[in-house]
Amino acid sequence: MADNNNPFSNLEAKFKSVENKPKTEKAPADFKKHYKTFIAIFLAFIVIVIAFANVYVVKEGDYKIIRQFGEVVDVKYKPGVYMKIPFVQSVTTIPKYQMNYKLSEKEINTKDKRRIIIDNYAVWRVVDPKQMIKSAGSLVGASSRMEEFIYSVVRSELGQLEYNDIINDENSSRGSLNDKITAEVNNHLLKDKYGIEVVDVRIKRIDLPEENEQSVYNEMISERQKIAQKFLSTGDADKRRIEAETDRKVKEMLATAKKEAAIIEAEGEAEAAKIYNLSFSKDPEFYSLYRTLESYKRTIGPDTMIIIPSASPYARILSGYLK
């Protein structure tokens, strides 16, 4: 209760009423201010997220295909950072580098009507990504078309060769088959504008159908036996030729040696006779005695019986009487 005699009682009552009044009048204004700030931050975050989501990087070994509503509108070749239009454009990556592709095994017929199974692989790359997308739609489509061309060319080329020419590496009729196949496939791809290039096509393996393996193995064994027999025959002929040539040379060498030996022997005998004559002419009596002794050596043996007169010079010499 207010005191009527106190002049400040009304003033105090007014202050108390102001202090006790709830402070809720500024709340709506503060809430609106914070709400607008939150919306601005949220929108900025959304913009940043969208911007980062539509930034793409072109690497050294990639092509970037930019599509808009399904149509190719641009191709990025140079490395760098780019941005696409959000929700309108999409980006597809295609490699620049060479790729390996293993072809499915195919059965073909050779010129001599033999069935063989060919296992190939190819090395290829994209040279015009825009043309490749336009013609094939994707890497899978391009590789499928490439495989069809390779199979067609391989079947055509091997169909012109005999079976033995294909499996026999020593036979030159096979030639540079891989290079011919590669060139022919590239001609087809370039003609149809697929935007891809085959770097190399290789025949990795040539197999036979199971039902033909045994007969082919027997034929290969027979062929190898013929080759071995040919080598053996050639070796025997070479052996006989070398032996005959050696015998001829030996006979010639022996004849030459005998001839030279006879000449040397004749010259030696002539020289010996000359020395004998010169020596014996100096003492005829000694020469007569030497000749007599030589005749004894040729005449008398271990079982020789000689009957001669005791007065003969021959008997006298044998008896030790030289005069």
In this predicted structure, what is the pLDDT of residue 263? 92
The answer to whether residues 107 and 141 belong to one domain is yes
Residues 197 and 177 in one domain: yes
Q: Do 163 and 148 share a structural domain?
A: yes
Which of 46-50, 253-257, 298-302, 303-307 holds the top average pLDDT?
A: 253-257
Does position 317 have pLDDT exceeding 60, yes or no? yes
Last residue of a domain, one of 155, 178, 207: 207
Looking at the structure, do residues 238 and 254 belong to the same domain, yes or no? yes
Distance CA 58, CA 61 (A): 8
24 and 48 in contact (C-beta within 8 Å)? no
Q: Is residue 297 part of a domain?
A: yes
Interval 161-173 mean pLDDT: 65
Q: Is the pLDDT of residue 191 over 60?
A: yes
Decide if 62 contacts 96 (C-beta within 8 A): yes
Rounded mean pLDDT of the chain?
Answer: 79
Is residue 109 classed as helix, strand or coil in its secondary structure? strand
Query: Does the residue 43 lie in any domain?
Result: no
What pLDDT does 33 receive? 63
Residue 7 falls inside a structural domain: no
Shared-domain flag, residues 274 and 297: no
pLDDT reported for residue 10: 56
Q: pLDDT band for position 169 (50/70/90)?
A: low
The predicted model gives 76-103 an average pLDDT of: 84
How does pLDDT run across 232-287, given as a tens digit for each residue? 999 999 999 999 999 999 999 999 999 999 999 999 988 888 887 887 777 777 77
- The count of domains in the chain is 4
Query: Which pLDDT does position 13 carry in this prediction?
Result: 56
Residue 82, pLDDT score: 79
CB 80 within 8 A of CB 58: yes
By C-alpha distance, which of 158, 162, 149 is closest to 178? 158
Same domain, yes or no, for 197 and 260? no
Examine the domain organization and report whether 169 and 105 are in the same domain.
Answer: yes
> Does residue 190 belong to any structural domain of this protein?
yes
How confident is residue 2, by pLDDT bands cut at 50, 70 and 90?
very low
Residue 17 lies in a domain: no
Block residue for tokens 């009044």: 21
Instruction: Compute the distance between CA of residue 63 and CA of residue 77 in angstroms, rounded to an integer.
Output: 5
Domain annotation covers residue 77: yes
Tally DSSP H helices, then E strands, for the chain: 9, 9
CATH of residue 150's domain is 3.30.479.30
Q: Give the pLDDT score at 125.
A: 92
Q: How many CB atoms lie within 10 A of CB 124?
A: 24
Last residue of a domain, one of 159, 178, 207: 207
Q: Residue 193: left if φ>0, alpha if ψ -120 to 50, beta else—which one?
A: left
pLDDT confidence bin for 31, thresholds 50/70/90: low
Q: CB–CB of 137/143 below 8 Å?
A: no
Q: What is the pLDDT of residue 173?
A: 46
Q: What's the CA gap between 268 and 179, in Å, rounded?
A: 79
**Cα–Cα dist 174/47, whole Å:** 65
Asked whether residue 82 is domain-assigned, the answer is yes
Backbone angles phi, psi at 76, to 5 degrees: -95, 120
Q: What is the DSSP string of 32-64?
A: HHHHHHHHHHHHHHHHHHHHHHTEEEE-TTEEE
pLDDT tens digits for 118-133?
888 999 999 998 888 8
* Res. 48 pLDDT band, cuts 50 70 90: confident
Average pLDDT, integer, range 203-228: 78
Give the model confidence (pLDDT) of 133-157 as tens digits: 888 888 899 999 999 999 999 888 8
Determine how β-strand 89-95 pairs with β-strand 99-102: unpaired
Domain presence at residue 30: no
Same domain, 144 and 176: yes
Cβ count within 10 A of residue 111: 13
The reply to whether 239 and 225 lie within a common domain is yes
Asked whether 22 and 30 are in contact (CB, 8 A), the reply is: no
The domain boundary, picked from 74, 95, 116, lies at 95
Q: How far apart are CA 115 and CA 209, in angstroms?
A: 7
Domain that holds residue 314: 284-319
172 and 124 both lie in a single domain:
yes
- The number of C-alpha atoms within 13 Å of 141 and in the hemisphere containing its C-beta is 12
Q: How confident is the model at residue 40 (pLDDT cuts 50, 70, 90)?
A: confident
Lowest pLDDT segment from 103-107, 162-166, 314-318: 314-318
Q: How far is it, in rounded angstroms, from Cα 144 to Cα 150?
A: 10
State whether 276 and 298 are in the same domain: no
Secondary structure element (H or E) that encloses residue 83, with its range: strand 80-83
Question: Does 83 share its domain with 170?
Answer: no
